[in-house]
């Protein structure tokens, strides 16, 4: 039974009536380009075959009733006339915030009954929250026939996280969930909100490895990193680090703190690497992609300081197996979460075996491995 069928079944069981529609939005993995999105830079994510499904029906009143199968089978209900933050059921704030932002654009939105289920590992850095938000927006757009496109949906999802949930995230997660293309990653310009599909080589898969180092993005140092980046941009009088070159940064090194300098150096160099990986994928140049992904990981480790010893160990273990036949790096916000490899299919089992043999011994933790393909976004037609 696939995820959509599960959502439909949960709806029937919970509400004793069939649903009207089922909508789905994928999670994502970021191939390269971390902590560049909120600096107006470039990212290269792919939508993956893990996501969130919502079975839904319209209501005659102004209430939203949500059953969340994966959140201890909890139910939350609220009125569209008075959407308040819920301190007790934190998951429900993604629904509340997303609908509040949708209401600003489409005041005619009415009530709905929802049953939600998903298989994106939560807290792993694969963006279960953006998948949830985009699935909600797709559901309400479908129920109420709203003229909502993928870029608008991504912006509304980002606003929900920034203004309601309280996480100062960029636009990447929502936009790839909305607009991903099957068999492709996507080079996204986070300032212009333009994108270009980046072909995943035939015979390659994403191997996503959850380090099982737990992290909470809202509570982590994520917002501190953002403040440090903004401080450097302000020092140079530019809108964002996107507008700086490494040469400009180096010329002012003496007038910046060491931490500020290294944070900015990561972002600027990561933008260059991300654009270079697009060209490598278009040219099927796996060796160059491999070097760029490893350089990205080392920059995130040394300059941005968001990896962990366990994540570093996973990257080392995978790199020993794939060499220059594929690439590997940490992915997501960091401070725990996942490592990604873009690897030839014939090396997937050797990667799994190496992780199984070495990771627990080196870290005291057991990793979860997900083999993924690049899939279609919720709003991409």
pLDDT of the residue at 218: 43
| Residue whose structure tokens are 């140092």 | 221
317: nearest Cα among 304, 301, 306, 330: 330
> 117 has which bridge partners?
53
| Residue whose structure tokens are 């792919």 | 46
**pLDDT tens-digit profile, the chain (381 residues):** 899 999 999 999 999 999 999 999 999 999 999 999 999 999 999 999 999 999 999 999 999 999 999 888 999 999 999 999 999 999 999 999 999 999 999 999 999 999 999 998 776 667 788 999 999 999 999 999 999 999 999 999 999 999 999 887 778 899 999 999 999 999 999 999 899 999 999 999 999 999 998 765 545 678 889 999 999 999 999 999 999 999 999 999 999 999 999 999 999 999 999 999 999 999 999 999 999 999 999 999 999 999 999 999 999 999 999 999 999 999 988 888 899 999 999 999 999 999 999 999 999 999 999 999 999 999 997
Q: Residue 343: CB partners within 8 Å, gap ≥ 6?
A: 204, 205, 206, 207, 318, 322, 325, 326, 328, 351
Whole-angstrom Cα distance, residue 339 to residue 327?
11
Whether CATH 3.30.230.10 fits 3-197:
yes
- Contact (Cβ atoms closer than 8 angstroms) between residue 325 and residue 23: no
| Coil vs helix vs strand at 337 | coil
Chain centroid to CA 208: 13
pLDDT of the residue at 125: 63
Tell me the two tokens of residue 308.
């962990």
| Coil vs helix vs strand at 370 | strand
User: Residue 333: which region, alpha, beta or left (left: phi > 0; alpha: psi -120 to 50)?
Assistant: alpha
189: nearest Cα among 32, 299, 36: 36
Domain boundaries, given as residue ranges, for the chain: 3-197
H or E segment and range at residue 297? helix 286-302
Query: What's phi and psi for 338, nearest 5 deg?
Result: -115, 160
Whole-angstrom Cα distance, residue 236 to residue 240?
9
pLDDT of the residue at 120: 84
**Pairing verdict, β 112-118 and 74-79:** unpaired
H or E segment and range at residue 246? helix 246-251
Query: What's phi and psi for 16, nearest 5 deg?
Result: 55, 35
Q: Residue 361: CB partners within 8 Å, gap ≥ 6?
A: none
What are the DSSP calls for 37-68, one per residue? GGGT-EEEEEEEEEEEEEEEEE-SSSEEEEEE
- Contact (Cβ atoms closer than 8 angstroms) between residue 194 and residue 151: no
- Contact (Cβ atoms closer than 8 angstroms) between residue 213 and residue 311: yes
Residue numbers annotated as active site: 173
């Amino acid at each position: 039974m696939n995820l959509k069928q599960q959502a439909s079944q949960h709806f029937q069981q919970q509400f004793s009536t069939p649903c009207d529609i089922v909508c789905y939005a994928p999670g994502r993995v970021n191939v390269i380009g971390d902590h560049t999105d909120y600096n107006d830079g470039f990212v290269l994510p792919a939508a993956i075959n893990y996501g969130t499904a919502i079975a839904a029906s319209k209501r005659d009143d102004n209430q939203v009733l949500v059953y969340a199968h994966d959140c201890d089978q909890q139910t939350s209900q609220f009125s569209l006339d008075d959407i308040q933050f819920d301190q007790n059921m934190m998951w429900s704030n993604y629904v509340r915030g997303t609908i509040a932002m949708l209401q600003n654009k489409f005041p005619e939105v009415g009530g709905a009954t929802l049953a939600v289920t998903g298989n994106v590992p939560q807290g792993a850095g694969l963006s279960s929250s953006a998948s949830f938000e985009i699935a909600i927006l797709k559901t309400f757009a479908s129920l109420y026939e709203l003229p909502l496109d993928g870029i608008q949906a991504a912006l509304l999802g980002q606003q929900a996280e920034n203004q309601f949930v309280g996480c100062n995230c960029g636009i990447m997660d929502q936009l790839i969930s909305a607009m991903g293309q099957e068999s492709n990653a996507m080079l996204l310009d986070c300032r212009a909100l333009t994108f270009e599909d980046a072909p995943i080589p035939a015979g390659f898969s994403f191997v996503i490895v959850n380090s099982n180092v737990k992290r909470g993005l809202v509570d982590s140092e994520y917002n501190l990193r953002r403040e440090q980046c903004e401080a450097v941009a302000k020092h140079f009088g530019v809108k964002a680090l996107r507008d700086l070159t490494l040469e400009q940064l180096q010329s002012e090194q003496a007038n910046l703190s060491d931490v500020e300098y290294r944070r900015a150096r990561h972002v600027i160099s990561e933008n260059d690497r991300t654009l270079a990986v697009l060209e490598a994928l278009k040219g099927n140049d796996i060796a160059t992609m491999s070097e760029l992904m490893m350089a990205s990981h080392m920059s995130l480790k040394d300059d941005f300081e968001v990896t962990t010893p366990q994540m570093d160990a996973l990257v080392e273990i995978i790199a020993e197996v794939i060499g220059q036949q594929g690439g590997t790096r940490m992915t997501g916000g960091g401070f725990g979460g996942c490592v990604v490899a873009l690897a030839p299919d014939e090396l997937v089992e050797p990667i799994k075996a190496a992780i199984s043999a070495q990771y627990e011994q080196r870290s005291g933790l057991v990793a979860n491995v997900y083999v993924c393909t690049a899939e279609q976004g919720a709003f991409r037609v």
